[in-house]
Amino acid sequence: GAWALRVAKAGQDAYRASDARRAPRLLGAAWALAPDDGPLTAKYYTALMLYDSPDRAARVLDDAMARGVWRDPLQRPGEFDAELPSLGGWPEAPPPVRACIADLERAYAKDGAAFRAEALALLEARGYEQHEGLQDPAKPKWSYADVDDSTLEVSRPTIDRAVAALKRACGLQAAGISRLEPGSAIRPHTGPTNRRWTLHLGLVVDAADVERLTLTVAGTARAGAWVQGKVVLFDDSYEHDVVHAGARDRVVLDLSIDHPALRARSGKPQSEL
């Protein structure tokens, strides 16, 4: 009831604040009342793993699997659409997605300087530090700027053209600019839904840092996943984490597109459903 919702909200606030003492306790109290709640279960499991309670986390995961909340222990989104195929953390792009990737890379090859300038201007004007309990607080920052109606006062015609083209061709659920400072680390977590795939277009990736940037998805690590002017595809509903052991900022255009089977099933992009 209302009490459980208040406890869950307090737990999520503590989680975002990286409160190691209160987050697991409050989320656990709420979860005990609603163990079939996918988003709550995902937050509680992640909090337990972040704050050194792996045995309890394993029991929560076993319970969630038995209840059918998830079907893969590494794929734990808050919203799980069981009708969509799970193709692994590093899925092979079908032809429509390959075409979208090629379009993005061509756009960057043509207007890379404009992409970079607009992205950095957005971060300067509207960037905020991520506070989701995922960034290691002892490490340098992970900052983000949304590419949506809330940041229209920042001129970004090149980025907007690329985003609009992607939305028409592959469906777009969210877009933003993500910057990692050298030495930063994003701790293991899962995205909110399996109805999307993630594309990252490398905007600022120093060549000397490429092999020092590691993205791990579903237990498979890839050093060199990000290259300036190139797109990396992954399914962020699977557990993933990032380590930046390089020397310069890494900046990407972060794009959440529709899971291809979602659009094939409905005939419409997720944004129109």
Check residue 133 and give its pLDDT: 65
Sheet holding 185-189, edge to edge: 185-189, 240-244, 213-217, 220-223
Check residue 235 and give its pLDDT: 98
Beta strands in the chain (DSSP E): 128-129, 142-146, 172-180, 185-189, 196-204, 213-217, 220-223, 231-234, 240-244, 250-258
Check residue 244 and give its pLDDT: 96
Check residue 266 and give its pLDDT: 66
Joined tokens for residue 118:
């607009």
Contact 214, 188 (CB under 8 A): no
Check residue 132 and give its pLDDT: 62
Residues facing 198 on adjacent strands: 234, 256
CA distance 77 to 270: 17
- The residue with tokens 């930063």 is 184
Residues facing 146 on adjacent strands: 176
Mean pLDDT by 10 residues, the chain (273 residues): 83 83 92 92 91 92 96 96 96 97 98 98 92 70 93 95 97 97 92 97 98 98 97 98 96 98 73 56
